């Protein structure tokens, strides 16, 4: 899988929980937490991004079951 595919999968999972704001949200998290352009992430970035997005989603969504579901979907991206 290439960087763009990882990026699109992360955005897709996040969109399920944040809707249209997801792409901007993901971009800021990648740039701030990983210090790289969003479409350059790779498989090795996903665990840290999963952790970062999990904390942020927990604050925004306030539904632990939804956060757990998102974390599971990020795990599937890692396994791909």
| pLDDT of res. 4 | 87
pLDDT band for position 31 (50/70/90)?
very high
Residue 17 has pLDDT above 90, yes or no: no
> Quick one: average pLDDT of 61-74?
90
pLDDT band for position 1 (50/70/90)?
confident
Neighbour-count burial of 41, counting CB atoms closer than 10 A to its CB (0-12 exposed, 13-18 middle, 19+ buried): buried
Residue 61 has pLDDT above 90, yes or no: no
Domain count, the chain: 1
Range of the domain at 57: 3-79
Taking the C-alpha atoms of residue 33 and residue 43, their distance in angstroms, rounded to an integer, is 15
Residue 80 has pLDDT above 80, yes or no: no
């Amino acid at each position: 899988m290439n960087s763009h595919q990882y990026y699109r999968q992360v955005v897709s999972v996040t969109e399920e929980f944040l809707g249209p704001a997801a792409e901007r949200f993901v971009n800021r998290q990648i740039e701030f937490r990983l210090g790289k352009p969003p479409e350059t992430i790779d498989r090795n970035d996903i665990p840290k991004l999963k952790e970062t997005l999990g904390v942020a989603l927990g604050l925004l969504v306030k539904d632990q079951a939804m956060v757990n579901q998102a974390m599971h979907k990020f795990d599937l991206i890692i396994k791909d």
